[in-house]
Amino acid sequence: MSRSDLARMIAEARRLVVFTGAGISTESGIPDFRSPGGVWSRMKPIYFQDFVADPDRRREAWERAFTGRAGWTGRAPNAGHHAVARLVAEGACAAVITQNVDNLHQDSFVPADKVIELHGNASYAACLDCGERHELAELKEGFLKAGEIPYCRACGGLVKTATISFGQPMPAEPMARAEAETLACDLFLVLGSSLVVYPAAGFPLLAKRNGARLAIVNREPTDLDGFADLVLHDEIGAVMSEVAPAN
């Protein structure tokens, strides 16, 4: 199968859903999680229950967030993100389901209501009790200058970056939206996911079992390659720039 085959599949689709993983953002210089040299090989994850229970772990989590040690934010969208944004703008893509927390789909001008974030977003924070949104810039000065661990301005509850940590329940609304979009599509396109993290990785198989065509673009093989209608082991930016070229 070739890039032209993928372009034809997209052109023939009545309803396309794009599913993105870390591989689309590594081309922007954002490290992935599990590969050698990835985030978790350099620092251990802070589990949700430890963040809630232990002030020292909360402090460590905020130090990572404000110093950028994890490297999840502050990068620019790449050619792959821009190609996906073009598909959305042209009405060819109904939704973007992402495992990423880097906000790069929104930064490439995909409307926020078209992006379904399964693992949250590292570019802002939220209260764990009332859900109040807090911008990181508003919290950073107090932490770096006075060592103040953020608390919610609305209810006084614990504030955490709006990512889904290990041990934290998956967000119900995004999961439900992702399932609905998966079941409604007739083409499910995976870009840059190893498809090993569940429950998120279950959506491609759900789409396939519901009658949709499944296409996977990833540099390395995945466990679902054998189920796919098209597999390209290639660079995402190059593939998508050819499949969805800029006018």
Instruction: Exactly one of 81, 82, 105, 119 is catalytic; name it.
Output: 119
- To which H or E segment does residue 233 belong? none
Q: Active site includes 119? A: yes
Tokens of 247: 């006018």
Are 161 and 140 a contacting pair, CB within 8 Å?
no
In 3D space, the residue among 234, 242, 208 whose CA is nearest the CA of residue 17 turns out to be: 208
Kindly write down the DSSP assignment for every residue of 29-97, as one continuous string: T---SSSTTSHHHHS----HHHHHH-HHHHHHHHHHHHHTTT--SS----HHHHHHHHHHHTT-EEEEE
Strand partners of residue 159:
127
Residues designated catalytic = 119
